[in-house]
Amino acid sequence: MSEFFKAELKDKFLQYASDRDDYFETGLLYDEFLRPNYSIEFVEKLIKEIIDYDPNLIDIMSGNGVRIFMLSATAYTNEFIEEGGFKDLYVKEEEKWDTFLNQLSNTRRLSIEEKESLGETEKTSYKRERTLLYGLIGAVALSFLFTMFSLFKALFNDEKYVSQKEFEERIQKFENELNPKTEQSDSLLESPATNLRQVDSFSK
């Protein structure tokens, strides 16, 4: 069943209720509009849809173990029908969709040249972003290497390295400074021995 036909049936249910001044069973709607091609359950389904849209459109009473047993129009039922009812709502919804689809169909499509140009623009943008990314990675790598170099330099360059020539010159200078002191010590050691020899000679 189409949505338009369902909207039309809902309006007929409301019009039937508006024409009566009392409560009536849902079976009357079934007998009036849908027998024998549809079931009573379909009538109840349409009534539930009416209530879900606006519970003020129709008044219901429970009974015989069912939630919707008897129906009656309300003060808003006739007003809703005069404004167009569910059929008008359906038509307005369809018009919205038609307008939307027309806007989509009227949207100018890109030509082949424009698509190619758009593709080239995207490729250029991608290459630029990739170049910037590589540059950033290179800068981070250089910064890391410089930091590591500075760290190793601070650890291992505290002591100055001495060439072999400088080492030999320092050794020679050290020996030259040490010789006079050695000679002086030797003279001091020889002096007591000389004095002892002189004393022995006098005693003889």
Q: Mean pLDDT throughout 28-41?
A: 87
Residue with tokens 């601070």: 154
Which of 87, 106, 137 delimits the end of a domain?
87
Whether residue 66 lies inside any domain: the answer is yes
Q: What gap in Å lies between CA 23 and CA 29, rounded to an integer?
A: 12
Which of 43, 63, 87 delimits the end of a domain?
87
Which of 87, 117, 143 delimits the end of a domain?
87
Q: Is the peptide bond before 180 cis (omega within 30 degrees of 0)?
A: no
Number of domains in the chain: 2
Q: Mean pLDDT throughout 181-196?
A: 51
The residue range of the domain holding 201 is 163-204
Write down the pTM of the prediction. Answer: 0.47
Whether residue 54 lies inside any domain: the answer is yes
Q: What gap in Å lies between CA 29 and CA 163, rounded to an integer?
A: 116
Q: Which is more confidently placed, 166 or 155? A: 166
Whether residue 13 lies inside any domain: the answer is yes
Whether residue 107 lies inside any domain: the answer is no
Q: Which two tokens stand for residue 57?
A: 């459109």
Q: What gap in Å lies between CA 59 and CA 80, rounded to an integer?
A: 14
Q: Mean pLDDT throughout 166-170?
A: 73
The answer to whether the Cα torsion of 64, 66, 67, 72 is positive or negative is: negative
pLDDT tens column, 36-86: 888 888 988 999 999 999 989 999 888 777 788 788 999 899 899 998 889
